[in-house]
Structure 1
Amino acid sequence: MLRQENEVARTAAVLGTATVFMGPGPRAVRQLVTLRRLPPAPPNTLMRATAVVLSAVPEIRPPDYDVLRRLCDSEQPLLSGIAECVACYVWEFEHDIDRALVSARRTIAGLAPVDNPSVQLMVHSRLSELCLRTGRGEEAYEHLKAALKVLPRLGDGHDYIGIRSLLVLACLQRGDPDEAEYWLRQSESEHTPQQDDFYRPDLGGRAEIALARGLMEVGLGLWRGTVERMLAAGSMRGGDAWLDPWAYLIQSVAVTAHAHAGRLVLVAEVVDRLRQRLRMLLSDPVGSPSVWVLRLEPENVRPARQGWSPPDPVRREPRHPRVACSRAAGRVHERAA
């Protein structure tokens, strides 16, 4: 019989490792070393299943990701569900969005029995994000509504991750600007004076609704105003707001909207800034999960000793799964159609 102390240590190590992986990124850390040294346990609980997957991260390596595939094929639903959750991010960064969608759907199926609001919020919002990026507005809508239903079970029920803002985009992709405006009003009612105006998830919503209704000049003007207000808010944060990844994302979407309408001359200055930024990024690419995994060589996952420290991961700019990045993907799909 497993000792209770092992389960307490396992839970602490899982939470510690997951927190590091979701923040600075995968690296050899003491929590992962602890997790791998604990006695094995059947993956019949959420924490145990997560422990198995996290412990296997150093062996999850390209090009075939055999270890990850075996975990995904497990007959244990919790284990396969957690593994598919990791896999959907791996496939995304390997530029295989269709496979990422499959993994995200399998994650929801595998973790459906888990009556944990945080888990349900995570899996439904993740799949909705991928659906929005690929123009699957109807499917995204259903999963965003499922995520919204979970919110009251989490603390004060506040929409901190912008589900209502994403519902705006889902409704636009479904061809329903009226409902999109409803969710935009709902999103704006969630906005409080303490919320960061620079990172507001509802940026550009009203502009997109105007464009969907055929009000091109109004919509494009709203996009330009959005960029100006965001950067004005950013200037209050200190440093150079122009260099923030979120600022470049919003500017990119505004430029895409103008390009779609054949009005790039109105955002010529923004286009020039983005061109310079792109050149800088291409001269120093940020890599993919393959590089992250290679940093987690098995020989590095061992107890820290004097004079030894884990290798620094490859730097990667933060991603913001917000309306704007989905909007850019939506524009590409519209043009392709």
Structure 2
Amino acid sequence: MRRFFHAVLATTLCLVTAAHASAQTYPSKPIKLVVPYPPGGGSDSVGRLFAQRLSEKIGQPVIVENISGAGGSVGAALVAKAAPDGYTLLMGNTGPNAISPNLLKNVPYDVDKDFTPISVVASQPLFVLVNKTSPYKTFADLVAAGKQEPGKLNFSSSGTGGLSHLAGELISSTTGAKFVHVPYKGGAPAMLAILSGDVVFHTPSAIDGVQQVAGGKMRGLVVTSAKRWPATPDIPTVIEAGYPDLEINFWYALFAPANLPAPVREKLSATTRLVLDDPATKKAFDTLGSVATPTTSQELRALVQSDEKRYAKVIAASGVEKQ
């Protein structure tokens, strides 16, 4: 029995030593970065930019693999089930990591237990846009109208359960106004609905909001960030408008599978901060309408938990059934 115990102990020590040695030499081969959406979208652009810069800093190729489906949940699930060795990573975001667990019936992962958070990579606020010819010149005008005629004014979204939908619901619940949700199949038709006069407002991401305001056909009432957006310094923030609880940021973040060895996590965290602190990287993210936003692993975990709870309340209050 004693020999058996010693044999088991020796085997365990060998495995631990081997794992530690492997972590110390990480990375020794290419890294796969899963983007849980098709090529060409915002997540893909952010993922490919980050992969290129991470590869330069970490000394190994970082290969982007697009695995889409179920609002990002398919790709996220693949990473959750991968070996926790640092060679399969996820470019997650607010969708699969904070909204989907409250929106989908059978999410094949637990956002709190199945991932090792590394860092937020980039973030961007939303814009509240109306038609340039709209009678609502300020956010206060829009809110007042929504209170005076509850249920008469509407807003468009890129789809039920997406952030543009939940942002509109948050505007209703936070301001006390009542706006009606009209879902569309994508951001482009949701935006066109404003131009056609079918809806009153839409809440796109910063990159789309800036483009529409610059195009001269839409007016930005507020931006959902703590500070004014550099590209549109004349548009006030929700805080200036008197609604700090409407601060909303869509974030992209780096995750690994749970139980990632500490040395690997620390290497990824430190290298990610080097990438995001680089002035050239910051400028590159600016062109994507995002801000490079490095955080600690603990800060990212807290953000995920906070947003998951926040959107769970919004989804429940809006009456959206799990899909």
The TM-score range, normalised by the shorter chain, is under 0.3
TM-score (norm 1): 0.21
Higher strand share: 2
Identify which of structures 1 and 2 has the higher relative contact order when contacts are C-alpha pairs closer than 8 Å and 6+ apart: 2
